[in-house]
Amino acid sequence: MSAEAEQALARGYLGSAREAQRHTLEGRLEHIECPTLETLAESDPLSAITPKVFDAFACPKMLIRFTAAEDATGHCEMLNRSLLNRRVFAVCHGRA
């Protein structure tokens, strides 16, 4: 790839990153009306904001927490997806 092409690619990435920063959920969460389910793995640094987001919802809501003792750690509970799936499907089917 030429230096010019690399620079154009970098400008595109930077432009995308700047544009993404403009889009937030600030001022929008309290307007969500549909029932909402959030999950939270105790060792997922990316989900640190989950409790704040959960508290901002005015809609019917549920938070399912996952622990290291359940081996359901990591982003999106990736180390125990079967447990996540069972719990989420139970909520969807009205068994939670």
Task: Name the residue ranges covered by the structural domains of the chain.
Answer: 26-92
Measured in whole angstroms, how far is the alpha carbon of residue 28 from the centre of its chain?
16
pLDDT exceeds 90 at position 19: no
Q: Are 85 and 66 in contact (CB under 8 A)?
A: no
- For the whole model, what pTM was predicted? 0.73
Question: Which residues are CB-neighbours of 56 under 8 A, at least 6 positions away?
Answer: 29, 30
> At a CB cut-off of 8 Å and minimum separation 6, what does 80 contact?
66, 70, 71, 72, 73
Q: How confident is the model at residue 9, as a pLDDT?
A: 67
pLDDT tens for each residue of 38-95: 999 988 888 888 999 999 999 999 999 999 999 988 888 988 999 999 999 999 998 8
Question: What's the rounded Cα separation, in Å, for the pair 88 and 95?
Answer: 10
